Amino acid sequence: MSVATTTVPGHAGEHHGEHHPAGILRWLTTTNHKDIGTMYLTFALTMFFVGGAMILAVRAELWQPGLQLMKPEFFNQLIGIHALVMIFAALMPAATGFANWQIPLMIGAPDMALPRVNNWGFWLLPPAAILLTLPFTLALFGIGDGALATGWTFYAPLSVQGGLGVDFAIFAVHILGVSSILGSINIIVTIFNMRAPGMTMMKLPLFAWGWLITAFLLIATIPVLAGAVTMLLTDRHFGTHFFDAAGGGDPILFQHLFWFFGHPEVYILLLPVWGLMPHVLATFSRKPIYGYKAQVYGFIGIGVLSVIVWAHHFFTVGMPVPALIYFMFSTMAISLPLAVLFFCWIATMWKGAMSFETPMLFATGFIVLFGIAGLTGLVLADVAADAQYHHSYFVVAHFHYALFAGGIMGVMTGVYYWLPKWTGHMYDEKLGKWHFWLTVVSFNLTFIPQFFLGLAGMPRRIPDYALQFTEFNMISTVAAFILGLSQLLFAYNIWKCVKGGPKASDKVWEGAEGLEWQLPSPPPYHSWETQPVVK
């Protein structure tokens, strides 16, 4: 994606980062928000395929009962690293890539406020990804026993018992955390200080609002995760007993700390997407966004609620009845601000003049499938029924509706929506539609059977299963491979669009509104040399 770097002659010399070096050095030293955004997105796409390959190996093992391809130890490593890679190295960097590219364009700023911090934020990621996956390779040479095998949740005391893969994962999480914090700080200060004259907070594009809340959630929760894994590290190597009952500690403390981060993390992944949706829906409905203020308050409401509901991730540990009831009702309360968002999305479409280009297809697909995630989340909040759903495939299906249909399909919406702006070329519409339909159908065929598996009693994270679960697992595996292979169309379409294609106009979409569409496609190397005024 190196096309999007046109410089405007005569302007390039006036600001920082002027005569950028060529080749690899340019990318290593760049402080340009577009270059960094491009690197984030490329990294995210690469890791999306790495994480996907891991889970396809898992699905292949689950094709039928018995152990065919791998040992249970290796299976456990794959599921945990799949989750960490997808969350921290695919979805989060993709969202940060969007923020880097779009926020300065959308708020009329020349660049991010802290360009050098921005560079660091990105270049911490590749080493972290290497740390996370290196133990797989080391094990091939007989060093250690492979990667983190506890699932992505690191639960003590299993993680205290684990091999060097746990230490690698702890350091990887620390580095990823620092990267997220740097990115968040930059986004917050950019939004607060660099808005164009006349753009008040209540005129801020919703995408920027969604990211602002995400950034605050990251600031509040990443240090807690970092603290929890540091305590784990000292438990492992320096004889502290934070999580060891024999030394006066408590294994459940770890779960509280982890999910104090882990639940907001879900909204960290989703808020940027929720911010993006109204823009796309308004564009393709050729109608203004419905309920702007309601959506802003909805974001804030969800942000606040997200940090007070964490214990619903472990109802089965045995909590006092009042705690169970509190966490159940506070979790159910999230459905209200979320319903505000759904209401506004549908009301934005209502009585518009809709057309269904690929971004709109993904956006509507997102609304329906994310609806399933929300509704199943509502029943999961019920403690009594949760006893049956918890730790089963029902939960696996639920959070893939939230994070694949909600998160990843949301990111795909954004990519198709903004790619013409970034590259100056239109993507291949026909290929995009094929990608959408293949993704939606195979996604549902992969995960609907998992709802039924969970209800029938199949626990998650098992490499082998009882005979009664065979048919549904087979369907799920076949569909997962179709889902995985369809994503190659996505990568190919992006590649094709970067290389060339029909010229995109400045506005790109007939119904597009907002500052970013006033710039040429692709935008100049330094966006908004001249500040626009927002009325």
Partner 1 sequence: MNANFTEAELAQRRTASRRMAWLIGAVVLAIYIIGFFFKRG
Partner 2 sequence: MKTLVRLAQLLAALSPLPALADYKWNFPEPVTPIARDTLHIHNEFMLIITALFLVVFAIMIYSMVKHRKSLGHQPAKFTGPTGRIQWFWAFVPFAILLFIDFVLMGIPAVHAIIDMEDTKNKADMVLKVTGMQWKWQYEYPEAGVKFISTLSTPREQIENKAAKGEHYLLEVDNPVVLPVGKKVRVLLTSTDVIHTWWVPQFGVKRDAIPGFLRETWVKIEKPGIYRGQCAELCGKDHGYMPVEVHAVPEPEYLAWLDKKKSEQAAAAGGADRAWSKDELLAKGKEVYEKQCAVCHQPEGQGLPPAFPALKGSKIVNGPLLSPAGKIIADSHVDRVMNGKAGTAMQAFKNTLSDVELASVITFERNALGNSKGDMIQPAQIKSLR
- Is 99 or 479 the residue whose CB approaches partner 2 more closely? 479
Q: Is 222 in the site for partner 1 (CB under 8 A)?
A: yes
In whole angstroms, give the CA distance from residue 463 to residue 236: 27
Query: 392 by DSSP, 3-state: which?
Result: strand
Q: Is 514 in the site for partner 1 (CB under 8 A)?
A: no
Phi-psi region of 199 (alpha: psi -120 to 50; beta: other; left: phi over 0): beta
**Encoding tokens for residue 174?**
């620390």
Residue 226 touches which member of partner 2, partner 1, none, C-beta under 5-8 Å by kind: partner 1
Residue among 345, 479, 348, 474 at smallest CA distance from 404: 479
Q: Is 350 in the site for partner 1 (CB under 8 A)?
A: no
Residue among 343, 339, 345, 263 at smallest CA distance from 306: 263
Q: Is 250 in the site for partner 1 (CB under 8 A)?
A: yes
Residue 137 touches which member of partner 1, partner 2, none, C-beta under 5-8 Å by kind: none
In whole angstroms, give the CA distance from residue 57 to residue 368: 29
Residue 114 touches which member of partner 2, partner 1, none, C-beta under 5-8 Å by kind: partner 1
In whole angstroms, give the CA distance from residue 434 to residue 447: 20
Residue 466 touches which member of partner 2, partner 1, none, C-beta under 5-8 Å by kind: partner 2
Which of 181, 378, 448, 489 is the binder for partner 2 (CB under 8 A)?
378
Amino acid of residue 140: L
Which of 31, 119, 190, 283 is the binder for partner 1 (CB under 8 A)?
190
522 preceded by cis ω (within 30°)?
A: yes
Contacts to partner 1 from residues 100-139, by CB under 8 A: 110, 113-114, 117
CB burial readout 414-423, b (16+ within 10 A) else e: bbbbbbbbbb
**Encoding tokens for residue 385?**
């029924």
Residue among 352, 356, 334, 494 at smallest CA distance from 418: 494
**Residue 345: which residues within 8 A CB-CB, separation 6 or more?**
277, 278, 281, 367
Residue 110 touches which member of partner 2, partner 1, none, C-beta under 5-8 Å by kind: partner 1
Residue 294 touches which member of partner 2, partner 1, none, C-beta under 5-8 Å by kind: partner 2
Place of tokens 């928000």: 33
Could you tell me which stretch among 2-10, 77-85, 181-189, 423-431 binds partner 1 (CB under 8 A)?
A: 181-189
**Encoding tokens for residue 183?**
């990115």
Which of 297, 471, 500, 520 is the binder for partner 2 (CB under 8 A)?
471
- Is 218 or 380 the residue whose CB approaches partner 1 more closely? 218
In whole angstroms, give the CA distance from residue 72 to residue 222: 31
Q: Is 348 in the site for partner 1 (CB under 8 A)?
A: no
Amino acid of residue 340: V
- Is 102 or 150 the residue whose CB approaches partner 2 more closely? 150
Residue 189 touches which member of partner 1, partner 2, none, C-beta under 5-8 Å by kind: partner 1
> Taking CB under 8 A as the rule, which mask of x and - marks residues 277-306 in contact with partner 2?
--------xxxxxxxxxx------------
> Taking CB under 8 A as the rule, which mask of x and - marks residues 81-120 in contact with partner 2?
----------------------------------------
Q: Is 219 in the site for partner 1 (CB under 8 A)?
A: yes
